[in-house]
Amino acid sequence: MAPLKLGMVGGGQGAFIGGVHRIAARLDGCFELVAGAFSSDPARAHASASDLGIAASRSYADYREMAKAEAARPDGIDAVAIVTPNHLHGPIAEAFLAQDIHVICDKPMTATLAQANDLMEAAANSRASFFLTHNYTGYPMIRQARQMVADGDLGDIRIVQAEYLQDWLSETPADDNKQAAWRTDPAQSGGGAIGDIGTHAYNLVSFVTGLRTQSLSATLQSHVAGRAVDDDARVTLQLSGGGRCHIWASQVAVGNENNLTLAIYGSKASLRWAQEEPNVLWVTRLGEAPRKITRGSASAHPAAGAVTRIPAGHPEGYLEAFATLYREAAEAIMTPDQVTSNNALIGISQGMDGVRFVDACQRSSSEGGAWITLE
């Protein structure tokens, strides 16, 4: 089938995540970028479009204009990728959903719970779909872990430990650090480490275990003087089924780059996975030695094989995992009644769950770590 036509809002000159989305979107040939509003600054928006080979007639200075104009074209975009700071996710998504254009949005879904509620209503009134790019769910070994839990290989889940540790905000960033500027502004981000990377850890726990969070207790702290958002978060979750989960998300953990790890301990076995070594999953059955399972090997589950592109021993990583989400979104758009890949799509309900998680953590921390009920 011909590639779907993709638009993008944000991700212009000087941006990081926009480039990642563009690579991911074209890796499997499912999308072709044809339009965009790449910056809120018109000059930068049009210069970015020119750099990317976008026709001047499809370069927009305003996302509202873009949504209406693309919907009116016979060759208008099928989907839009939203890669802006968090506080703009909701309004932009609503504008495109109102035109029945599918939305592929960077996480978290919105910066506030009120925005999330508005977006939920907009999605319910649209014929288009909403997809959220929690990209770590696209790793083959994460799909393997998810299937093993679902198959009961670990038994009853007792303890889950998820950590996402970075050190890039250990000091006050330079004034020209664009990425740090909006992430440390509560009006744009909606939260610090808990919203930026804590949501990834939380989503991964939910995705792999399939368990709901019933309640949580959180302590959010800022270690850098003058910082208006948290840079270190410790959260304990009470899971459905009786298990407990502990999440540590920090952007001031010196010596860590993107150290996202997941460990799940059940009554029969445990598993461990690390994002910086994503092609390996360690499984230990009670009374046995740890077993190393590698992506693409004979021991890999079909769920992992379904999102594996190259043979064992050739590393796959971050960009490929991201591309898996774009491929699955394309499958859902083109053949909505035949969604494959183990129904692993992250959509509006999971997005709302993530925003509720951040909101509950902030409320809990403001009340001295009080337990907050989510269900």
Residue closest to 13 by CA, chosen among 57, 45, 56, 59: 45
**pLDDT band at 175, cuts 50/70/90?**
confident
pLDDT digits (tens, 9 = 90+) for 25-48: 999 999 999 999 999 999 999 999
pLDDT digits (tens, 9 = 90+) for 125-160: 999 999 999 999 999 999 999 999 999 999 999 999
Residue closest to 253 by CA, chosen among 215, 274, 211, 223: 223
Contact yes or no for 163/171 (Cβ under 8 A): no
Phi, psi dihedral angles at 59 (to 5 degrees)? -105, 125
Q: In angstroms, rounded to a whole number, what is the distance separating the alpha carbons of residues 24 and 31?
A: 9
Beta strands in the chain (DSSP E): 4-10, 31-37, 79-83, 102-106, 130-133, 157-165, 213-221, 232-239, 244-250, 259-266, 269-274, 280-285, 291-294, 372-373
- Using a pLDDT cut of 90, give the percent of the chain over it: 95
Q: Mean pLDDT across the chain, nearest whole number? A: 96
Predicted local distance difference test score (pLDDT) of residue 291: 98
C-alpha distance from residue 107 to each of 17, 84, 134, 136 (Å): 11, 10, 6, 11
pLDDT digits (tens, 9 = 90+) for 336-359: 776 555 578 999 999 999 999 999
Phi, psi dihedral angles at 183 (to 5 degrees)? -70, -25
Predicted local distance difference test score (pLDDT) of residue 169: 98
Predicted local distance difference test score (pLDDT) of residue 337: 74
Q: Does the pLDDT value for residue 168 go beyond 80? A: yes
Predicted local distance difference test score (pLDDT) of residue 343: 77
Instruction: Name the region of 84 (left: φ>0; alpha: ψ -120 to 50; beta: rest).
Output: beta
**What is the four-CA torsion angle of 148, 150, 155, 156, rounded to 10 degrees?**
140
Q: What b/e string do you get for 142-160 counting C-beta neighbours within 10 Å, with b at 16 or more?
A: bbbbbbbbeeebbeebbeb
Partners of 270 in beta bridges = 265, 284
Residue closest to 365 by CA, chosen among 192, 141, 204, 208: 192
pTM recorded for the entire structure:
0.95
Residue closest to 326 by CA, chosen among 76, 80, 37: 80
What mean pLDDT comes out for the span 82-91?
Answer: 97
What are the start-end ranges of the H helices in 247-347? 302-305, 318-334
Contact yes or no for 111/196 (Cβ under 8 A): no
CA-only gyration radius of the chain, Å:
20
Predicted local distance difference test score (pLDDT) of residue 95: 98
pLDDT digits (tens, 9 = 90+) for 198-235: 999 999 999 999 999 999 999 999 999 999 999 999 99
Which domains does the chain show, CATH number per domain? 4-128 (3.40.50.720), 139-310+347-366 (3.30.360.10)
C-alpha distance from residue 329 to each of 109, 129, 332 (Å): 16, 9, 5
